[in-house]
C-alpha cells in the first residue's frame, strides 16, 4: 500500500526537478543572475540547466503565462 509520502511524491510535476536545479544554480551564480536581468549570457552550466528546464516545462505543462 502507498504511504501518504509516496502519494505526495507521485503528484509532483515531472519538470520540478529541472526547475529546482535551474533555480538553485541561478540563485548562486552571478553570471546567470546578470543574464537573467538582460546583461550578457548565462554560463555554460546555467545555459544547459536552462535548456533542460525550458524543454521539460514545454513538454509536460501548460502553465505558461
Nearest CA to 49 out of 14, 12, 13, 19 is that of 19
| CB-CB contact of 48 with 21 (8 Å) | no
Kindly state whether residue 31 participates in binding Zn ion, applying the rule CB under 5 A: yes
Q: How many helices (H) and strands (E) does the chain have?
A: 4, 0
Tell which one of 32, 50, 56, 57 touches Zn ion (CB under 5 A).
32
| Span near Zn ion by CB under 5 A; candidates 3-11, 12-20, 45-53, 55-63 | 45-53
Tell which one of 19, 21, 29, 48 touches Zn ion (CB under 5 A).
29
| Span near Zn ion by CB under 5 A; candidates 7-15, 16-24, 27-35, 55-63 | 27-35
List of residues contacting Zn ion (CB under 5 A): 29, 31-32, 43, 46
Amino acid at each position: 500500500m502507498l504511504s501518504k509520502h509516496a502519494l505526495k511524491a507521485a503528484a509532483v510535476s515531472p519538470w520540478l526537478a529541472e526547475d529546482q536545479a535551474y533555480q538553485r544554480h541561478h540563485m548562486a551564480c552571478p553570471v546567470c543572475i546578470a543574464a537573467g536581468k538582460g546583461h550578457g549570457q548565462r554560463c555554460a552550466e546555467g545555459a544547459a540547466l536552462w535548456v533542460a528546464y525550458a524543454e521539460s516545462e514545454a513538454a509536460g505543462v501548460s502553465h505558461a503565462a
